[in-house]
A and B are shown apart, each in its own frame.
Chain A
Amino acid sequence: MQRVILSSFLIGVLFGIGLLVAGMANPAKVLAFLDLAGAWDPSLALVMGGAIAVGLIAFRLAGQRKVSVLGEPMRLPTRRDIDRRLVFGSLGFGVGWGLAGFCPGPALVAFGALEAKAMVFVVAMLVGMAAFELMERRSASR
């Protein structure tokens, strides 16, 4: 368990450094990618490409394992249905992403860079996540 916690921490640092190297922690660069009709910066397509190139190999290897290297169960998602929640949630996420140029990972990294605006975004995001959990609990108890 301790090794899982330590590796999770180091993976978080690596992920955050990847976002900083890629330029994704910078909302202005993200918005320049999303601005197809303006002066378009295609860089972020290559971020996705680079990540998926590595990910394709990793998840192929992961699919062949019964337990993880550290002995944890492999929690690979199994759902394949396209439901309303997936579609509407994702559509809504894109609107929020396009408004400020922040998605959750880069916002947490910018929070760690002590950017006041990122801190406001992160607090609002956590409130939004908590609101979701409250709505879920209310609909479950009904």
Chain B
Amino acid sequence: MNIDWAAFTPWSALLGGALIGLAAAAMILLNGRITGISGITGGLLTPQRGDIAWRAAFVLGLVLAPTAWMLAGDLPPLQIDADYPLLVIAGLLVGVSTRYGAGCTSGHGVCGLSRLSPRSLVATLAFMGTGFATVFVMRHLLGG
């Protein structure tokens, strides 16, 4: 294994992770909800009375985070190498399968593992596994 030490950012990773954890902590302790981005967003597509506003407010907050950031300084680099057709395929796949598997990196990976949920452990191992495998195929077998 060849670690890219120049790209490794341990302190900002830990700090950012702790902020993500704090957000999930506030959501469960204040509102009694799991912070699962795919579940919260997906719930907006089948609106139920009295269950829309908090979801919309959360998603709006996420979308406005870069704007809040820019009040203090420049945004960090966001480098998106995938081309448009690949983004469409990836987006469709992420949309369908996070709903089918009842969670994504936040709901299973952060909240689920924090709850020591066996379902979320299986889910996290599964998506990490295919995530690693997919990048291996794309970069080292297909060379794209």
Contacts and interface: CB of A to CB of B under 8 A. Distances in A.
Contacts of A59: 28, 111, 114-115
A94 B31 CA distance: 29
B66 A98 contact: no
A48 B126 CA distance: 16
Contacts of B133: 94-95, 98
Contacts of B90: 96-97, 99-100, 102, 121, 124
Contacts of A110: 66, 78, 80
Interface of B is mostly: helix
- What class of interface size applies to chain A in its complex with B? 35 or more
B76 A5 contact: no
Interface in B1-50: 1-4, 7-10, 12-35, 37-38, 41-42, 45-46
A75 interface: yes
B95 A132 contact: yes
Contact of B58 (A12, A25, A42, A82): A12
Interface of A is mostly: helix
A109 B59 CA distance: 9
A75 B111 CA distance: 12
B84 A120 contact: yes
A35 B95 contact: no
A92 to B, nearest CB: 3
Interface string B37-75: 110011001100000011101111111111111000001
What 4 A-B pairs have minimum CB-CB distances, sorted nearest first? Answer: A89-B101, A128-B95, A12-B61, A16-B65
